[in-house]
Amino acid sequence: MAEYWHRQCAGLLFRRVEETLVAEVAWEGLMHSSNESLNDQTFPSRFRFMAGGVTKLIAETEEWHSVGGPQPYHDSVTVSFFSAMPNGEEIHRIFTEEAAKLDILVGEIARAEQAVRGNRRKRP
C-alpha cells in the first residue's frame, strides 16, 4: 500500500509532529498509472509491504524539497526501510537487479560500523 500522510507540528512548549492518514492507494493501482499521471501526483509518504495480512516492511519517504535539498537534487526522495527482521541484503539485491534493467549500477553496501572504523584517524 502507498500511504499519504499529512504531517503537522503541534504544541508550543513541547513540540511534536501529528500525522493524519489522508489516503491509501494499492500498489497495483499506483504502478498502473502513466508517467505523466505520476509526475502530477504527490509522492507517497510511506509504503507498507504486507504478506498474509502482516506488515513485513515499512518504507518511509522524505522529499528533499521538504528539507531544503540543493540543486539538482531538490526533487529527489530519500527512502528509509524499517523491518523487524534484518533484510538489508535482500533489499540491496532487489534494487541492484531492478537498476540493472535500466543500465544503472548500484554500489556495494557500506556498513555503519565499518564506515566509522575506516574513518578513524590515528593520533600522533
Q: What is the pLDDT of residue 15?
A: 82
Q: What is the pLDDT of residue 66?
A: 66
Residues of the chain with pLDDT under 70: 65-69, 72-74, 109-124
Q: What is the pLDDT of residue 59?
A: 92
Q: Is the CA virtual torsion 30, 59, 102, 36 positive or negative?
A: positive
Q: What is the pLDDT of residue 111?
A: 63
Neighbour count for residue 35 (Cβ, 10 Å): 7
Provide Rg for the chain, Cα atoms. Answer: 18
Cis peptide before 86 (omega within 30 of 0): no
Q: What is the pLDDT of residue 124?
A: 46
Q: What is the pLDDT of residue 79?
A: 85
pLDDT in tens, 63-95: 776 666 677 666 778 888 899 888 888 888 888
HEC sequence for 2-42: EEEEEEEEECCCCCEEEEEEEEEECHHHHHCCCHHHHHCCC
- 58: DSSP letter: E
CA pair distance 49, 90, nearest whole angstrom: 14
Per-domain residue ranges for the chain? Answer: 2-119
